[in-house]
A and B are shown apart, each in its own frame.
Chain A
Amino acid sequence: MAKLNRRSFVKLGAAGIAFLAGIGRADKLFALDDEVKLGLGGKDYSPITQDKRKSIPSTCWQCPSRDALTCYTEGERLVKIEGNVESNRNRGKICSKGQSGVNQVYNPDRLLYPLKRIGKRGDGQYKRITWDEALNELTAALKKLKDAGTPEKFMLHHGRVDGSDEKIINNFLTGYGTGTVGNNTSTGESGKWTAQELTWGKYYDVNDTENTNMILNFGSNFFEDHTSHIQLAQRTVEAMSRGVKLYTFDVRLSNTAARSTEWIPVKPGTDGAIALAMCNVILDNNLQDDGFIKTWTNVTLEQLKKHMSQYTPKWAEQISGVPANKIKELAIAFAKAKPGTIVSYRGAVAHYNGVQNERAIKTLDAICGNIDVKGGTNHAVMPEWKFPEINGRVKQLDILDGFKGTAAFPTHNVNNQVLKMIKSGKAGRPAIYMTYLYNPAYVNGECAENIEILKDEKLIPYLVAVDFAMTETAVLADLILPDVTYLERWSLEDTMSYAMIPEFSLRQPIIKPLGEARQFQDVTIELSKRLGINLGYDSTLDFIKQSCAMTKVSFEYLKEHGIYADPSAKPLYKGYAKQANYGGETVIYDAGTGVYWDWKKSDAKTAEEAAASGYTDTKNAYKGYKGQKIGGLVYRGFAPDRVNKSGKFEIYSGLLKARNFEPMPSYMPIPEHKKMKDKELVLTTYKVNVQATPEIQNCKWLSEIYHDNPAWINPVTAGDLGIKTGQKIKIKSGVDEILTTAKVTNGVVPGIVAVSQYVGHWAYGEFASGKKSTVFVADVDSNTKWWKETGVHPNWVVPNSPDPIAGQQRSMDTVVTVTKA
């Protein structure tokens, strides 16, 4: 069959046009009516009244992916949520969690009124108070600290908060004067981000599977859950339908592993060893990208070969259990794929050695020439909002990064250590500990200790919880402020786009907030007024409109479409190879690194001081980074973020070396795993699609699908322990024990026990915990709920143990014993 070329295409086109013109009323022969109108969003009709539903675009928040939504209302009621077809990110698709947002809004267990504790802390006795009373109480407490010159004793600890939501809160806190602000990043993935900061600069990576030729996956269950779940999953599915192969290394046959071309079982925490051995094979076979290594990395090919020569596939087989031949075969195929891309996540990074594992993985991508290329592994592109900004000096309690020496580069803080820091009191304690959409009692390890600390009024004199649900932390609070759900709020979002074109997105209220729930950002603005802090905006909506104007994105357009992407923008690849603008009077050159930097933006006081201490050793020098000199030219390079790395892709990390870590990507054995005794197992935690975040178990549609989580054990291991499927078992670690049932399956490797996260709530509401709310009436579906199980939460037995480089919570390293209960 001759292929169609441009000439025959023109002929076929001309024939087609003439053919249609020759049929008298061709339109009668067609099946579709009307004209194409873009930007309509979806259409939907009530199945009962047949009336057209109103559609309102917004942005999801059931998980960090923040997909673009089209929400439908009938009358004043939200009835359905779909994906926004206009988005270049999720392209009209969402997951079951996104659809179940309806349950969050209309969950009768949600918080609708400010509540004040009246019994003993933790007894669950509250009285409803007015907002005015609540704010008077809080203002008085805040004012007292501020007047005493100790604003840092007010700590706000927030969960997943981004974009305008985060900025408004931070403006308030800056205006107030506290820098004691915690986040939740080390619970999930800070090891991954810190590794990226040490290696290629700004964190967040995008796997361009849409355009790739081969995918390796180290420990990510991205068909079920990922920071960009829908974006990545749908593009990978498309790639696989055109024949692209996906190889998943995992201790467990996750749904992603099961849908991969091949599941390659590995021992826990050994992903780095495999990646290093792949580097070894590629270099041994001279399949590396010489140009990239020579120009953009800070090592020579010889150095790299010498370093990697120790990591043979045979060595990696002994460590990881993956056959050496398989490692060789995949390494060679991956190097030849051009481009390939490597996905990695908690399976690889939530370990003692997570940072080094991620560095090994990024190095593997780099030596194959996959960095920032179409079909490769790329720096994320994100919309850059301009927000009204409050500047000022803040004071901070030194409790955010864990105990001294906990982590060498806690660039995203060490949130799981905050309560322990408070308990120890060595670095001071907050007088007010306010949680916002953060549930430390549940999300940290060692739940029993968390509860003990949170309950202790001597350690935490005033505990305030801001949330939309009665969480395990809220039930201990002295004051509870009801936040709105994400379907009742205004926010500007700034998440990454896998189309490699930044997309701005708006979250807007689909319905009016229920009860007296108030968006916390508005509450902070109100508190600012009461405390005399001048913010320059008087509501969240005002802030959002100002931000849109500053960013030059039409607010009205966003309201109508939910998202905006510049139609003339092109996907951004190889940003590092663009030439840099490095002019400026205060810009100096650092000969040691080849970096041009603006010393004024660092902590140096004078140019002389900056020049004397140099780029690497001047605090916050990275903030002034301008460009990297390579040959005779200056490039944007791999610009640093949060640490003073150079503009090169740093396979060799001088920063790690200075802190006595191996500077080249290396394998770090996990100390506890080396000392394991007979019959001890490693506890692995994982997430399933419908229960992938801590905030959704009370969504009844999701809990109906998944409400129990028996522990997975390999038949060989179960045989050794005399355990059978369905038997009650006890999982015991150095900190606590949990009871659950066993599921004996070949879907996990021997020597581990796998328990899913994010069920097993003991508060939150009826569908999450099985306990009806003490405050509100139950859902009508209480009567039709056919299951009793609520699952078990593994964090009771997981120690709050950070990795030594980033401070990432080591959710995958816990050594346990499993016995019949």
Chain B
Amino acid sequence: MKKVKKYGNDAIKTAQLRSGIYGFLAIIYLKELSAESIKSFKKPEVLNNLKGMGFNPDKKFLNTGENVLSGQLAAEYNRLFIIPPVHISMYASVWLDKDKILWGETTSGIKKIIESVGLSYKDNWDGLPDHIGVLFEFMKKLVEKETSALATGDNKTASSCAEYEKRFLNEYMFNWVRKFCETVKKETKSPFYREMAGLTERFIEFEEKEVE
């Protein structure tokens, strides 16, 4: 098994940050954002950190109330991902399988890996198993496990987690998520989703380098 990868000197801190980012991205993509999520997004600890890395929310975004914003972003989410003609697929199999279908080989592969580590899909999850948000969430869970293993000095489990992460990223994420982000950036009319796609892209590129 591979050695635990380290981003800088503090493996635990790094793992915490990574699981935070994966969790954040999962919420951004899993569903339309709720008013509560948007409220949290607008907290200074979130916004200031994002601003520090080049995210520039416009005044309209800052000044519109969460409920209204939630509706506006939901409309854009639906236009981008749910309704034809734009309809950018959020499912890995459509990007990765030769016949570009839903519930393809990739879907089964992802579902199998997720379930093989003891996780299950919630009954109320109505998307397919290989939704981009699920992929981020799965990574969040793996990195969380790695974090707790590192914290207790369980290097074997931490290594196993790192190995799973590496395999999952290589096999099911690095090969399409950036293309997905590019497409979103091109198609979206919303500065918010453009920024989020940009952040996702930058983060995935960063992960790819680190994993290598």
Contact = CB atoms under 8 A, between A and B. Distances in A.
A23 B137 contact: no
B20 interface: yes
B40 A17 contact: no
B64 interface: no
A22 B46 contact: yes
A4 B202 contact: yes
Contact of B142 (A36, A566, A567): A36
B107 to A, nearest CB: 14
A149 to B, nearest CB: 53
A660 interface: no
Given A9-B17, A14-B20, A31-B125, A567 B160 contact: yes
A22 B33 CA distance: 13
Interface in A10-40: 10-24, 26, 29-40
Given A22-B39, A238-B171, A13 B21 contact: yes
B197 to A, nearest CB: 10
A14 B17 contact: yes
B87 interface: no
Contacts of A26: 23, 27
A24 B3 CA distance: 36
Contacts of A19: 20, 23-24, 27, 37, 40-41, 43, 46
Interface stretch (A84-92, A181-189, A197-205): A84-92
A12 B3 contact: no
Interface in A69-101: 85-86, 88, 91-92
Contacts of B161: 36, 38
Contact of A30 (B18, B112, B117, B137): B137
A92 B110 CA distance: 12
Interface centre among B37, B125, B155 (most CB of A within 10 A): B37
B13 to A, nearest CB: 8
Contacts of B167: 91
Nearest to B158: A567
Given A32-B121, A33-B119, A238-B170, A12 B21 contact: yes
Interface in A554-569: 565-569
B98 to A, nearest CB: 12
Nearest to B25: A16
Interface string B79-120: 000000000000000000000000000000000111111111
Contact of A17 (B17, B26, B171, B174): B17
Contact of A15 (B24, B30, B205): B24
Nearest to A29: B27
A31 B203 contact: no
A30 to B, nearest CB: 5
Contacts of A14: 17, 20, 45, 49
Contacts of B53: 4, 7-8, 11-12
A29 B40 CA distance: 14
B interface bracket (residues with beta carbon within 8 Å of A):
35 or more
B122 interface: yes
Contacts of A32: 114, 119-122, 125, 134, 137-138, 141
Interface centre among A8, A33, A40 (most CB of B within 10 A): A8
Contact of A36 (B25, B39, B118): B118
Nearest to B34: A29
B151 interface: no
Nearest to A70: B116
Contact of A13 (B18, B47, B201): B18
A321 B50 CA distance: 60
A10 B17 contact: yes
A85 B43 CA distance: 41
B7 A9 contact: yes
Interface string A35-48: 11111111100000
B164 to A, nearest CB: 7
Contacts of B118: 34-37, 40
Contacts of A41: 116
B78 interface: no
Nearest to B174: A242
Nearest to B47: A15
Contacts of B16: 13, 17
Nearest to B23: A20
Given A3-B206, A9-B206, A34 B120 contact: yes
A12 B40 contact: no
Given A20-B24, A567-B160, A501 B18 contact: no
Interface string A723-749: 000000000000000000000000000
Contacts of B179: none
A23 B27 CA distance: 10
B37 A241 contact: no
B82 to A, nearest CB: 16
B52 interface: yes
A6 interface: yes
A30 B199 CA distance: 20
A4 B25 CA distance: 15
B208 to A, nearest CB: 9
Contacts of B188: none
Interface in A684-726: none
- The 6 A-B pairs at the shortest CB distance, nearest first, are namely A13-B17, A22-B40, A16-B24, A16-B20, A37-B118, A17-B20
Given A18-B40, A19-B41, A567-B1, 8 more contacts: A3-B202, A9-B21, A16-B21, A20-B23, A33-B119, A34-B118, A38-B117, A565-B1
Interface of A: 1-4, 6-24, 26, 29-43, 85-86, 88, 91-92, 238, 241-242, 499, 501, 565-571
17 contacts: A12-B203, A16-B20, A17-B16, A18-B43, A19-B24, A22-B41, A23-B27, A29-B37, A30-B122, A31-B127, A35-B145, A36-B118, A85-B113, A88-B1, A92-B112, A92-B113, A92-B116
